[in-house]
Each structure stands twice: as structure tokens, then as C-alpha cells.
Amino acid sequence: MNTRHRCPSFRLLAILWMTAAITAACAKSTAAVAETPAPSATPAGPQGAYWPTDGWRTSAPEEQGMDGEKITQALDTIEKDGLALHSLLIVRNGYLVSENYYWGYSKSRKHELYSVTKSFVSTLVGIAIDRGSIDGVGHPMADFFPGLAFENPDPRKDAITLDDVLTMRSGLDWTEADSSYTMMYRSPDWVKFMFDLPMASAPGTNFLYCSGCTHLLSAAVQKATGTPTRDFADEYLFRPLGITDANWETDTGGIPIGGWGLSIAPRDMAKLGYLFLRNGAWDGKQIVSAGWVKDAVRTHASTGGALGYGYQWWTYPSLNAFTALGRYGQTIFVIPDKDLIVVTTAAMEDHYRIFGLIEDFIAPAAGTA
């Protein structure tokens, strides 16, 4: 396995703004989009019939058909350019082939995931549907919260479905900004806070990135299952995958925050990518249905940029990939065609340079298959 523990020299980091794909995440888009198929997932069952529940096995890149020199070039670029990465992990064929930490971080240190949390929450929605607690993505959101009185009543608000929220097309008039988060933290009822917002458009029409909306998904899982969202996650997702050390921030009512707030180690982040790479199967059990995986990682909504949006996952058509993205460079990047997962934690302005590392070095290192 290619492993380094280096701290880049202190220098002025260039301020890189997000590419149009990510900038568009916080903007409204009315562009029509055809619902594209999901990337082809790898058949269930890792090479050698092992599962990384108790830990990832390691391997030299070459043993997994990767060009070790290209990975070295990626690592050299990180150091030469002083990129503020905290970790970079590469998994090929179920084996950890490169694991690198920077700035004092280590494999045992948990990291705030920011919006990568959303992909975990949407997976919980899929599990709840699989278990019959929710009848499907067409279920009206307001029905999860009977008796909730909210401001700005609007028939369009009553029509918002799970699908609309999962695909960031709720129609609620939300501004993705620190000021909105601050108002939520000051609210005694985060669900009511979100339902109090006026409508900006009909649900299911316009893409508008909304971290507050994802909190409604966490609350809906709790309401529908009759189990606290954290307990549900522990029983049906975290423990089966061997994720035993997780912190999850809650709202003022004790509901785990849907749009952010989960902290786990990078090796555990890779497990969610691997679950989806294996069609929702894990060590002989179907954690979430293959049908859910297929729907979650295909493009449902146009973002107005190069990336599409599924069920709280971004789609990356140029590499036939899908990715969970969090503020400051948190990433779970999955390329099914190459049986490849890339995980980063970071303190960067955006994902521009991370995408560059993947496109210029890591994906080419895996060849054409």
C-alpha cells in the first residue's frame, strides 16, 4: 500500500472557486433534464470474498492493477501545491491501495463530513422504504408531521414529496448560506422552521440546493420508523458496516441534523462508497436495496452545471461516477467502471483541485477497466 504521513509547508494557498457545476449547486435551475441511468455498479462480492467490516485490507497499487507512479504523482502534487487536504484514501477492488494523512490527522481521527452527511441520510430513507416504514418517494412530506401548524400556507407546500426533497426540488424559498444555518440553530423547532418558509416554485420543478430541506428527511425517518434516527442508523447502517465510532450533531429537539453534522473517520466514509459500489449488499446481507442504489445515483435533476443530482448524491457524467460532496473538500467519489473509491477530508475552499487529482492522476492510474 502507498502510504505517507506528510505535513505540507506553510504557504499562501491560492483561493480557488468552485467550478460551474458546484457553483450552480446553490443557485436555482429550471433547465429540463432527462433522467439518466445510474453508473453500472460492480457485481456484489469483493475480490477474495472479504468484506471490510472490521477493517480494510491493504495492497500495493500494482497488485490491484493500478499505476503506482501516477498515484505518486498525485501525492507529489498535493505536497508541491500545498493543498489543504487532511486525508486521501484510494480503494481499488475492495483493497486500500493508498492512504495518506496530513496536518496531524490520522486514520483513527474522526472528521466533520458537512454535506456528505446528506448521502448517509438518504440511504436511511431508502432503508426505511425497504423495510416498509415509508410507502415510497411519492409520499407527501407534510404527512410525516400531522398537526404541524406552519406559516405561509400554500397548496404547493402540501404537495412536496420525499422525491422532491431528495432531489433538491422542494420549491421552498431557502437561501444556502451561513445566515440560514444560524437562524436554524436559533429555532426551537427546525422542522417548523423549514415548513414556515414560503414557496419559491412548484415542487419538483427547480433545483435549489437546500441543506435545511435534508433535515426534513432525517425527521421523516424518525417519524415514520418510530425510532430515533441515530438509533435507526446504528442498527441498520452503521453497525452492519462496522462503523462504531460516530458523532452526529442534533437539532434543538434531539433529531440528528440531516444536512450536516456527522463525524466519522475517513476509512468509514469509504464504507458507504463501497456499499453503493456493491449494489447495497454487504457480507451476505442486503443493507439497502439494489433498486434504491440505482435510483439514488442516477441524475434526477439538472444543476445548471457539469454535475447532476440524484438522491442526495451528485452525479459526475464525465467519469460515469457519483459522489458525496461536503463543504471544504469532504468527498466520497465512486467510479463503478473502475471499481474505484476515492475519499478525501480537507479544509479547502472547494472541490476543484480534488476533482483535478482524480481526473488527472487517480482515475487514469486505474486504466480503462
- For 157-216, how does the pLDDT look when each residue is reduced to its tens digit (9 = 90+)? 999 999 999 999 999 999 999 999 999 999 999 999 999 999 999 999 999 999 999 999
Residue 1 confidence (pLDDT)? 75
**Edge-to-edge strand order for the sheet containing 330-335?**
2-5, 95-101, 85-92, 340-346, 330-335, 321-326, 314-316, 308-309, 301-302
Which distant-in-sequence residues (6+ apart) come within 8 Å of 264 by Cβ? 110, 111, 113, 243, 245, 246, 247
CA 327, CA 338: separation in Å to the nearest integer? 26
Banded model confidence at residue 58, pLDDT cuts 50, 70, 90: very high
**Cα 137–261–221 angle (5° rounding)?**
30
Task: Provide the domain limits for residue 114.
Answer: 27-339+359-369
4 within a domain of the structure (yes/no): no
- Which stretches within the chain are classed as H helix? 20-23, 68-80, 117-130, 155-158, 162-166, 178-186, 190-196, 211-225, 229-233, 239-241, 266-277, 290-296, 352-357, 363-365
Residue 368 confidence (pLDDT)? 73
9 within a domain of the structure (yes/no): no
353 within a domain of the structure (yes/no): no
Query: What 3-state DSSP class applies to 291?
Result: helix
Other beta carbons within 10 Å of 153: 11
Residue 137 confidence (pLDDT)? 98
Of 3, 48, 56, nearest to 274 by C-alpha is 56
**Would you state the cell numbers that stand for residue 306, as one nine-digit string?**
457539469
The amino acid at 29: S
> What's the half-sphere exposure (Cβ side, CA atoms, 13 Å) at 318?
10
13 within a domain of the structure (yes/no): no
**Edge-to-edge strand order for the sheet containing 111-112?**
111-112, 262-264, 247-248
**Would you state the cell numbers that stand for residue 77, as one nine-digit string?**
502534487
Residue 35 confidence (pLDDT)? 40
> What is the number of structural domains in the chain?
1
Asked if 189 and 253 touch (Cβ cutoff 8 Å), the reply is: yes
354 within a domain of the structure (yes/no): no
Paired strand residues for 100:
4, 88
12 within a domain of the structure (yes/no): no
Q: Is 150 exposed, middle or buried (0-12, 13-18, 19+ CB in 10 A)?
A: middle
20 within a domain of the structure (yes/no): no
171 within a domain of the structure (yes/no): yes
Asked if 60 and 99 touch (Cβ cutoff 8 Å), the reply is: no
Using the predicted structure, report yes or no on whether residue 228 has a pLDDT greater than 60. yes
**pTM, rounded to two decimals:** 0.90
Average predicted confidence (pLDDT) for the chain: 90
Asked if 221 and 197 touch (Cβ cutoff 8 Å), the reply is: no
Of 311, 141, 292, 125, nearest to 225 by C-alpha is 125
User: Which domain CATH number covers 45?
Assistant: 3.40.710.10
Using the predicted structure, report yes or no on whether residue 42 has a pLDDT greater than 60. no
